[in-house]
Structure 1
Amino acid sequence: MKPTVTRRSFFLGSASMAALATGLPGFAFAQDSVTADQFIALSARLTETPASSLDTTTAGKLLEAFLANGRGPGLALLATDTQVDTGTVANDVVAAWYSGVVDTQDGQALAGFTDALMWNALDFTKPFAYCGGEMGYWADPPQN
C-alpha cells in the first residue's frame, strides 16, 4: 500500500519545517560548549562586573564544573543570544560567582572563596583570616 500525501498533510509538513527553520535558529545551530574567554565575557555580562575583575582561575573551575554537569549547551546559548531563556543556567552562574561555590557531580565544591563577588558587595567585611591592614587598623575610623 502506497502512502498518499494529501494537500493538507503537505501544507502542515511545510509549515512545520518553516517554523523549525526560522523560529529556532539559536537552538538548531548552537555550539555545544563555550571557551574560557566566552565564559568570562558571559559572566561579566550576567554579574554586571568588568571582565578584568573576574578571577581567571575561579572562572576555569566554574566552567569545568558547569561543563561536567552538562550545562555546556545552556552556556553556549546564553553566550550567543542574550534573549534566550535557559532556565536556571544564568542564575546558577551568578550564584556561583557571588558565593564561590559550584555544584559538581560529587556535591558542592569551593571554586574561589576569597575571590567570590560577595566580598565586593559586602564592602564592610572581608573573607575570614584575610588581613585588612596593619596591626590595629580597625582602631581608627574609616577615612571618608
Structure 2
Amino acid sequence: MQMRAKDRDVSRRKLLIGCALGALTPCIADRPGLAETSDLADFLRLSAELTGRMRLPVDSARIYLQSLGLDRGALSRMDPLQDKDSERLARRIVADWYSGQTVDSGRVICVDYTGALMWNAMGFARPGGVPGEAASWALAPTKE
C-alpha cells in the first residue's frame, strides 16, 4: 500500500504535539513520582492534624518525611490512637515541626530554624539572631 504525499506530510502543529507528548511521557509513566506525591500529601494532612497548623511549608515537609524513612503508603495506614508505633511516629512528626529539626542517618539536621512552630507556640520569644522584641531585654528599660 502506497501512501499519498499528502498523508506523509507532517504539519508543524502535529510535529509540536508529538514532541510535547514525547517529553511528557516520562512524567506520566513515573509511578514512583506519583506515589511520592501521594505520600507527601498524606504527610502534610497528618502533620496538619497533629500540629493544628494548616499551611505547613512543603519544602520542610519533604525533608521531614524523607528523614522518617517510611515505606510508601505507610502514613495512610497510621492510627496513633490504636498503635504504639504510630503513636511514636506521631510524636516524632510533632517534635520535628515544633523544633524545626530532624534526625537523619544519626545526624541532627536544622530544617527551618526561624519557621519552627515552637516560636509561635511560645508567643513571647523569637529565634535568636532575628531582630524583634525578644532582644528588648538588652535595652535599658523605659520609664512610663
Residue 97 of structure 1: CA displacement?
0.6
Residue 34 of structure 1: CA displacement?
5.4
Please name the residue that 2:68 is paired with: 66
- Rate the CA distance shift 1:139–1:91 in 2: closer, same or farther, 3 A: same
Unaligned runs of 5+ in 1: 1-30
TM-score, normalised to structure 2's length? 0.58
* Larger relative helix fraction: 2
| Corresponding residue to 1:46 among 11, 28, 50 | 50
Distance 1:34 1:49 in 2: 19
Percent of pairs with identical residues: 30
* Poorly superposed stretches of 4+, deviation over 3 Å: 70-74, 81-84, 138-141
Q: Secondary structure at the match of 1:125?
A: coil
Distance 1:34 1:84 in 2: 23
Partners of 1:58 and 1:115 within 8 A in 2: no
Unaligned runs of 5+ in 2: 1-34
Whether 1:109 and 2:109 are equivalent positions in the alignment is yes
Distance 2:141 2:72 in 1: 49
Whether 1:37 and 2:41 are equivalent positions in the alignment is yes
Q: Secondary structure at the match of 2:130?
A: coil
Residue 116 of structure 1: CA displacement?
0.7
CA RMSD in angstroms comes to: 3.2
Larger Rg: 2
Partners of 1:39 and 1:63 within 8 A in 2: yes
Q: Which amino acid aligns with 2:39?
A: T
Q: Which amino acid aligns with 1:113?
A: Y
Please name the residue that 2:100 is paired with: 100
TM-score, normalised to structure 1's length? 0.58
User: Across the two proteins, how many residue pairs are aligned to each other?
Assistant: 104
